[in-house]
Amino acid sequence: MNQLDALKQFTTVVADTGDFRQIDAYRPQDATTNPSLILKAVQKPEYRSLLSETVAQYRGRELSELMDRLLVRFGVEILSIIPGRVSTEVDARLSFDSSATVVRAERLIELYQAQGIHIDRVLIKVAATWEGIAAAAQLERRGIHTNLTLLFSFCQAVACGQAKVQLISPFVGRIYDWYKRAAGAAWVEADNAGANDPGVKSVRQIYNYYKHFGIATEVMGASFRNVGQITALAGCDLLTISPDLLAALAASKAPLERALDATAARALDLTPLNYDEAGFRFALNEDAMASDKLSEGIRAFCADAVRLDQLLLAA
């Protein structure tokens, strides 16, 4: 048994790509996309027609609608391949506007439903800002399930659990990147690998907290830099993995054991937390890594959304 098949015994494997032609080989349950992945995909010759066809069919509509229709077009193609759910992201430029996020999320769901896709097969991705989490809470009450992304801190995870969101995506690799850069020449890779990786430790803390207190929100580790980060989180509810790392797992016969365990988490001695807006903002501000990476992530997704706008306008 290869490591990918072994991982599937403990964890739901999710493909992290907009390149749906790569998905089928690895037989994931779910798939995730984001503005950067869609931007990358539409610049490939084999996907360019999806953009041009979308613009041709809906020319004259608002640019935001064209983007949403393009995202849904990719999502529908992905759902024709996988048995589970696809995550589609609300425009990151709305990360600090709860009401606008809700409106865009509802439109995305309406577009999926118009294509015959059941609401339960779509997760709406929203940045885990205070406003994004508030929007997600509203959407969940309306039966629209959410995936809170750009999650780097424990306080974000606690607030998402309070909001009863469906799923969170803590970003393992970006946490690792920050600590490695901050350490500079003092960084020793071997001392910060596997279970000692700072991104892995962050996800393990969140997983243990959720399982200990019976929080139903699913934990999906994301943004991996290497196979070791993935195998150190075997047993996590879900892991969303890029095609190159899926290929590396499929090519490896190394043994793989469960690393996270809900039963063990329930036996831990943990203290419950609760955040109001002021407490959340203060806790996030106190976490330099999370503050930096959340801001950086939103800026990067916004920049790619602008580039996607430009491609739509030029089509």
pLDDT greater than 90 at residue 113: yes
β-pair partners for 148: 126, 168
Q: Are strands 167-170 and 146-151 parallel, antiparallel or unpaired?
A: parallel
Distance CA 155, CA 292 (A): 15
Do residues 302 and 93 touch, judged by C-beta distance below 8 A?
yes
Mean pLDDT of 22-31: 92
Distance CA 189, CA 200 (A): 14
User: What is the reported pLDDT for 35?
Assistant: 81
Per-position b or e across 26-59, b if 16+ CB within 10 A of its CB: bbbebbbbbbbbbbebbeeeebeebbeebbeeee
Do residues 162 and 140 touch, judged by C-beta distance below 8 A?
no
Torsion-angle region of 239 (φ positive above 0: left; ψ -120 to 50: alpha; else: beta): beta
pLDDT greater than 90 at residue 20: no
Do residues 239 and 14 touch, judged by C-beta distance below 8 A?
yes
Do residues 230 and 210 touch, judged by C-beta distance below 8 A?
no
Q: Is 125 a catalytic residue?
A: yes
Q: Which helix (H) or strand (E) holds 63?
A: helix 63-79
pLDDT greater than 90 at residue 177: yes
Q: Pick the range with the lowest mean pLDDT from 31-45, 116-130, 197-211.
A: 31-45
pLDDT range class, residue 311, cuts 50, 70, 90? very high
* Active-site residue, selected from the candidate residues 44, 125, 201, 293: 125
Tens digit of each residue's pLDDT (9 = 90 or more) over 63-105: 999 999 999 999 999 999 999 999 999 999 999 999 999 999 9
User: What is the reported pLDDT for 24?
Assistant: 86
Mean pLDDT of 245-252: 97
Tens digit of each residue's pLDDT (9 = 90 or more) over 251-301: 999 999 999 999 999 999 999 999 999 999 999 999 999 999 999 999 999
Specify the pTM. 0.96
User: What is the reported pLDDT for 21?
Assistant: 86
pLDDT greater than 90 at residue 121: yes
pLDDT range class, residue 53, cuts 50, 70, 90? very high
pLDDT range class, residue 39, cuts 50, 70, 90? very high
Mean pLDDT of 49-75: 96
Q: Show the domains of the chain with their CATH numbers.
A: 3-314 (3.20.20.70)
Look up residue 288 and give its two tokens. Answer: 């330099």
User: What is the reported pLDDT for 137?
Assistant: 98
